[in-house]
Amino acid sequence: MDEFFLALLSAAAELLYEVFFQVVTEALVAFIVRSIRNVLKESTAINPILAAIGYLLLGIAFGIASLLLFPHPIFHPSKFRGISLLVSPVVTGLVMSQVGIVLRRKGKQTVRIESFGYGFAFAFGVAIVRLLV
């Protein structure tokens, strides 16, 4: 019974770490996108489907880069390893959605990654890479 609780605690810690890592990474991406958008004021709107695919690919790229920084898992993989592929992007998407809501309430412009769908796509890309390795 103790092993089950230890495995459950390990899975929760792993999930919290992944969410934290993905939120910090998405905040960095939002900063970069916002900076680029300020430089290119007259950019044209991108198709939402292409933007989602772009954020997914960007997430995969950041996932690969994270493997260079952290080649070994910080937490020992738990018995519930695959659950992070779904739960982590959902939680990260919800956090990014709330960031977007707060920014809009303050009258600031948001970037696409500060919404649930695009935040989910980015975090899903990171999670796929981290899960497969």
* Dihedral in degrees, nearest 10, Cα atoms 103, 97, 47, 62: 100
Three-state SS at 125 = helix
Angle at the Cα of 21 from the Cα atoms of 49 and 3, rounded to 5 degrees: 115
**Of residues 33, 53, 64, the one with CA closest to residue 127:** 64
Indicate whether 114 pLDDT > 80. yes
Q: Is the pLDDT of residue 115 over 70?
A: yes
- Per-residue pLDDT of 62-90, as tens digits, reads 999 988 988 877 666 666 677 778 888 99
Q: Using one digit for the tens of pLDDT, what is the confidence trace for 19-41?
A: 888 888 888 888 888 877 766 66
